[in-house]
């Protein structure tokens, strides 16, 4: 379980565009590696985190349904991109755009998980905050945690269906600066190459056999830096799809 004494201070911490926060876990989500950027942002020493559950940085504002989606996706052997707010040991928060992947051994067996996180665009964070706030409120509205999770799962599915988006596409839209606010249900033109709106779920790249390699920088959506590169494999197309768009972002964090 995560520590309970620390309360969120509401103070936001940010990190540089060129920095990547990296952690690795075993199959149960216990930390096996944390890079210096993670330790700095989270205000931990390495010995405080290795062997501990990843929820040591869980922020209470995060809807549980997002972690359900994360774990369901990973256990299916697929990657996931997700916006997450984390809480440091001093109660400060920091938003990330996380790319989480299964790590495999040479035979293809999943042996753990790997997350690399970039600094997200401010407009994307604002849109996600709004949606996550409603999901969290829905979870808290129910006395039973499992009823709350079921209700927020339904809410998330309805929100995405109204947009004609999967969660992955919703994340990519925000990263590309195309989705507007979380309450907008129009203007969701399909992103070229993502087969948007066809109900296809996350079709991530073929799993890497190299579990020690750093995740591909080229594969992570890059927010707010002028040009956005998103590379994904659509299973239907059997080849990598690269989206390159010019964006004008108002990063102000």
Contacts with ligand FMN by CB under 6 A lie at 23, 25, 29, 54-55, 57-58, 62, 64, 67, 70, 84, 86, 98, 100, 113-115
89 Cβ neighbours under 8 A, 6+ residues apart: 3, 6, 42, 43, 44, 48, 56
- Cα 210 from Cα 225, distance rounded (Å): 29
Dihedral (C-alpha) 217, 218, 220, 224: value to the nearest 10 degrees?
100
Query: Whose Cβ is closer to ligand FMN: residue 42's or residue 166's?
Result: 42
Q: Please state the closest distance from residue 246 (CB atom) to ligand FMN, in A.
A: 30
User: How buried is 234 (Cβ within 10 angstroms: 0-12 exposed, 13-18 middle, 19+ buried)?
Assistant: middle
How long, in residues, is the chain?
253
Q: Please state the closest distance from residue 96 (CB atom) to ligand FMN, in A.
A: 7
Q: Please state the closest distance from residue 35 (CB atom) to ligand FMN, in A.
A: 13
Strand partners, 101: 114
Q: Please state the closest distance from residue 68 (CB atom) to ligand FMN, in A.
A: 8
Query: Whose Cβ is closer to ligand FMN: residue 62's or residue 195's?
Result: 62
Query: Whose Cβ is closer to ligand FMN: residue 72's or residue 158's?
Result: 72
Q: Please state the closest distance from residue 67 (CB atom) to ligand FMN, in A.
A: 4
Query: Whose Cβ is closer to ligand FMN: residue 114's or residue 136's?
Result: 114
Query: Whose Cβ is closer to ligand FMN: residue 11's or residue 162's?
Result: 11
Instruction: Find out whether 240 and 232 touch, Cβ atoms under 8 Å.
Output: yes
């Amino acid at each position: 379980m995560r520590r309970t004494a620390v309360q969120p201070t509401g103070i936001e911490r940010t990190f540089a565009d060129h920095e990547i926060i990296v952690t690795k876990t075993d199959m149960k989500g216990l930390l096996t590696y944390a890079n210096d950027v993670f330790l700095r942002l989270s205000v931990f020493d390495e010995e405080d985190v290795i062997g501990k559950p990843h929820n040591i940085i869980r922020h209470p504002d995060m809807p549980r349904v997002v972690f359900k989606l994360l774990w369901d996706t990973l256990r299916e052997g697929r990657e996931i991109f997700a916006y997450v707010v984390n809480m440091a040991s001093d109660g400060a928060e920091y938003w990330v755009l996380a790319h989480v992947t299964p790590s495999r051994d040479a035979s293809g067996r999943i042996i753990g998980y790997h997350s690399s996180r970039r600094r997200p665009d401010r407009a994307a964070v604002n849109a996600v905050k709004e949606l996550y706030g409603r999901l969290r409120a829905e979870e808290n509205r129910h006395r039973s945690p499992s009823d709350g999770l079921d209700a927020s799962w339904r809410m998330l599915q309805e929100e995405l269906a109204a947009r004609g988006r999967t969660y992955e596409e919703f994340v990519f839209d925000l990263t590309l600066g195309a989705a507007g606010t979380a309450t907008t249900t129009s203007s969701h033109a399909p992103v070229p190459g993502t087969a948007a709106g066809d109900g296809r779920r996350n079709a991530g790249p073929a799993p890497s056999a190299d579990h020690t390699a750093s995740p591909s920088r080229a594969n992570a959506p890059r927010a707010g830096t002028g040009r956005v590169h998103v590379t994904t494999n659509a299973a239907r197309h059997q080849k990598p799809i690269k989206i390159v768009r010019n964006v004008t972002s108002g990063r102000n964090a």
